[in-house]
Chains A and B, each alone.
Chain A
């Protein structure tokens, strides 16, 4: 590049995210929260992806929709995220930092500006079509939203199925649409967007099980796919959560799950492992049994791949507590039993005996595969794919592609589960931020607000708006009567009604009325505050009124919808809800959201591969970083690893990264550093450190913490380790091969799960199966004559690692299973090292001599007991740090402003550690990029006059926030308070109140409701 061109180079502060699933949403939010404009381009009519279709998620059994819908709302209302749905990218040109992307919007036939999402059109549309969302188990209409919580909630017309488009008459939707939003002339639109980077997160397709005809899908009605079964389990699904079989709606008892349908099969499916099916099948079996205790589930599997954090604990519980049966067997055929519609499964059991077993229902655990148009899609963005049509990504940054400035994330990059997808969503945001950091803040919209009106001296003047919600409310509730009634209530100076209160024109009208009538408190009687409260609060702010002087009465969800058959009662109840809302709003007081400054410096604890990458990720964005390492040198466990399984050189990579970190102007490395003190809150922490060798004390002020304390290899005391030199760990074997080669090795035996998946450590260490195969293949490469035997419990070469397992088998490496109760025996006598193990199929013991016995020793968390007590961090029983939420907050710790990455979180591969460290940088940047943090005003506060210092609040707070201060009374730091109100309810002196939920603000509703009851 010439000097001239480089000075002209443009950096844009906007990013395009293609896709709308949970990974894409996370990337959008992290970018938009740290100063970038985001354009989300989603091909479906709603965002949400696969996760919205799931019923519950393990291990907590949390409802999937409950977890994802608040995130969807965050995306929808973010002023720096533009959602383009029913949209696809046509072409891309330009350079990293400055791309021009042409986007095509497909016609929706509904004007999103006018549509209020009331859903009347959908209700009245006469045309029924199989619902894609419900997997064909129920119907939708030709004008529809993908699912009830769809975002945007603007309906779309499915032209192929619309009676008007196909036959030229109908237009029922147009007739019933009070907002006049139907647009038959819609032809779609094409436009160009300029962005600095592009993130691809289009997800994957699901395997079509009809290809495997022997399994009977599409032929036998009671054979369903796993995603159909999710819908069957869902309370909002086609059967309202009752487990029924589609064929005859009978309740099944014996249900079989068949694993690896479409995965690990290079004949008529895909060779890779889909990574998620073992766990979702386990979850489905557990949840099905919870729904109906008579259900008797069996899971037919090849290997149970419970390789994630605490996954084995969940599987063990499924086996021991829920009595789920796991049967290792491949199913060769599924036939229907004539007359009963039951299904006969044929399989060879673990002893090789052929069996036929009858089940009431069969669930096929279908895997993931790239979309059919993967090649064309890749061509549009100019990125290369690997042999399996997944994007080709470098081993040391799994979110980069062959085209600079174009990144990938989520399952599109390779099969993965929800937490890994969320983590990688943050990781790709982190990588993008590093590229575009100089353009941060250049394209974002900043909210300008008028000064707040001082209302302390004003009388209470309440405005009430009652919403028709099209006909959603008005067809049941007598809106005019409710409006009239509201006008008679105390302090109400105005009451009005709107067709759609949330429509932009109504909002403008509300603003005018607020000014005109001098209103200082607002009640909206409409729908759910969960979805609409923020919009009305924004309207109040834009009129200069404190947004907390607001209350909603949900007369739609709580009256018209749920008492639609009793309109009089619905109207009566609406009046009561309005009366309660008016009573409460009169008691509310203005609340100010406190702003606290952020110290724009990060503290990274741990100088291994995760810590180094986290430090570089932040420093490259211009933030100051202090990197602490307890040892004398950096690099951690990775310094002992030669190559990755793909053959990438880890040693030189680690050395390069160490060089970068030590020479970076924004990074200060402190080795032999020990944390001895910690205080503060998000944005404002102070850490005391003793720095060796002199152990001098330093105090560091910083805004965030990234924990990257790492893990070590387990030191075995079993299988003669330490007593015979020929017994070594996998890391030692790779060092041995590096130094001495494999010439002298005639036979090598490997034992898996040493120090993992047992009573002391119930978890899988995730990396050992691939480590064994990596070393085995290395030996075969060095000396093809060496015989290798691997003794395993389940081979867990998840995702694309399955390729290497297949290669190992093809190269003649022998695999035998063993069971926890019956481990191999190792003897060293007369110079021979002999391993005795039992072969399941032959039913007898086998003996093998070995020149080397390699133990696949698990991963053990570094000792962080003291650190966790100083920083007050939760850890698992095995000493790994516990994230704030296992699914959706895999990088955040429960204490805001503290993040975790790498093997400090759980055992993982180098590429995965790097991914999580990039994710930690993105999450940390959402804090560091802001000069101030705005705190919620809904926090608890103590009246020191009333406090008796009884410590009940100190003990009851789930977040350990209340402290007894120098005056001897309890004090609650509003920066730390989560606003749950537990302390306020527990306080015997009633010295604590929760803002916005003060006792009289709750009890006035009780009083108003029961007015006249006595």
Chain B
């Protein structure tokens, strides 16, 4: 379909969203990412039965930690879609991108810049 989505979205491949670890998400923020989102199969449609449900919990956990640290939990998000649903993938990418633009850069970055 070759639908266009924002170029600042970059994908890291996992066998299943059930493999996503809290430390993967936190590491991204530590290294300066402005937002992270996890895209899994539709709920009930996980290829490995329920990995996407566990991923959702971990994303929620990450949100709490990011809220506590002041980075902001809304910078991390879980989405579900089916592999054929390109338009929805694009919609989520745009949605996330707009949200992150609104939130502005990762506060760690700002701190660093300020310190510099």
Footprint of B on A, CB under 8 Å? 56, 60-63, 65-66, 148, 234-236, 240-241, 529, 554, 558-559, 561-566, 569-570, 572-573, 576-577, 580, 938, 956, 958-959, 978-982, 984-986, 994, 997, 999, 1002-1003, 1005-1007, 1009-1010, 1013-1014
Contact = CB atoms under 8 A, between A and B. Distances in A.
Contact of B12 (A240, A559, A1002): A1002
B105 to A, nearest CB: 9
Query: Which 6 residue pairs are nearest across A and B when measured between Cβ atoms?
Result: A1013-B32, A981-B19, A980-B48, A569-B7, A958-B49, A1010-B31
Give the interface size bracket for B toward A.
35 or more
B19 A997 contact: yes
B65 interface: no
Given A561-B2, A958-B50, A235 B85 contact: yes
A1010 B4 contact: no
Contact of B85 (A148, A241, A565, A982): A241
B84 interface: yes
Contacts of B48: 958, 978, 980, 982
Given A61-B45, A66-B84, A1002-B14, A1007 B27 contact: yes
A978 B48 CA distance: 8
Interface string B1-30: 111110110111111101111011001100
Contacts of B51: 958, 980-982
B42 interface: yes
Contacts of A984: 19, 21
B88 interface: yes
Contact of B24 (A60, A563, A999): A999
A56 B44 CA distance: 14
A240 B33 contact: no
Contacts of A60: 44-45
A1003 B21 CA distance: 10
B88 A235 contact: yes
A539 B42 CA distance: 35
A982 B18 contact: yes
B87 interface: yes
B58 interface: yes
A61 B1 CA distance: 21
A573 B19 contact: no
A469 B28 CA distance: 31
A981 B51 CA distance: 9
Contacts of B49: 958-959
Contacts of A580: 10, 12
B54 interface: yes
A1002 B108 contact: no
A66 B19 contact: no
A577 B10 contact: yes
A1010 B5 contact: no
Contact of B20 (A240, A566, A979, A985): A985
A572 to B, nearest CB: 8
B112 to A, nearest CB: 5
B82 to A, nearest CB: 4
Nearest to A60: B45
13 contacts: A63-B83, A240-B1, A562-B5, A563-B7, A572-B7, A959-B49, A982-B19, A982-B51, A985-B18, A985-B19, A1009-B10, A1009-B33, A1014-B32
Nearest to B21: A985
A249 to B, nearest CB: 16
Contact of B14 (A529, A959, A997): A997
Nearest to A959: B49
Nearest to A980: B48
A1006 B28 contact: yes
A1014 B107 CA distance: 11
A981 B83 contact: no
Nearest to A958: B49
B84 A982 contact: no
B87 A240 contact: yes
B11 A558 contact: yes
Nearest to B105: A1013
Interface of B: 1-5, 7-8, 10-16, 18-21, 23-24, 27-28, 31-33, 42, 44-45, 47-51, 54, 58, 82-88, 108-109, 112
A211 to B, nearest CB: 33
A1014 B12 CA distance: 20
Contact of B87 (A241, A562, A564): A241
Nearest to B88: A235
B45 A236 contact: no
Nearest to B112: A1014
Nearest to B86: A235
A994 B19 contact: yes
Contact of A982 (B1, B12, B13, B54): B54
Contacts of B1: 148, 236, 240
Contacts of A1006: 12, 24, 27-28, 31, 33
Given A63-B84, A980-B51, A576 B10 contact: yes
Contacts of B84: 63, 65-66, 234-236
B42 A61 contact: yes
Contacts of A1010: 28, 31-33
Given A63-B83, A241-B87, A1003 B16 contact: no
Contacts of B86: 235-236
A564 B1 CA distance: 12
Given A61-B42, A1014-B112, 15 more contacts: A60-B44, A66-B83, A66-B84, A148-B1, A235-B84, A236-B86, A240-B87, A562-B7, A569-B7, A938-B15, A979-B15, A980-B48, A981-B15, A982-B54, A1010-B31
A62 B41 CA distance: 10
A564 B109 contact: no
A529 B13 contact: yes
A1010 B28 CA distance: 8
Contacts of B88: 235
A959 B24 CA distance: 24
A62 B82 contact: yes
Nearest to B111: A1014
Contact of A1003 (B10, B24, B108): B24
Nearest to B84: A63
A65 B11 CA distance: 22
A234 B82 CA distance: 12
A994 B15 contact: yes
Contacts of A566: 7
A994 B51 CA distance: 14
Contacts of B50: 958, 982
B54 A573 contact: no
Nearest to A894: B49
Nearest to A1011: B31
A63 B45 CA distance: 10
A143 to B, nearest CB: 18
B12 A956 contact: no
B83 A1014 contact: no
Q: Which of A60, A66, A577, A1014 has the most CB of B within 10 A?
A: A1014
Given A235-B88, A981-B14, A1003-B27, A565 B4 contact: yes
Q: Which of A235, A979, A1006 has the most CB of B within 10 A?
A: A1006
A1013 B7 contact: no
Nearest to A573: B7
Nearest to B36: A1006
A562 B16 CA distance: 23
A236 B42 CA distance: 18
A985 B54 contact: yes
A63 B88 CA distance: 14
Nearest to A529: B13
A986 B61 CA distance: 13
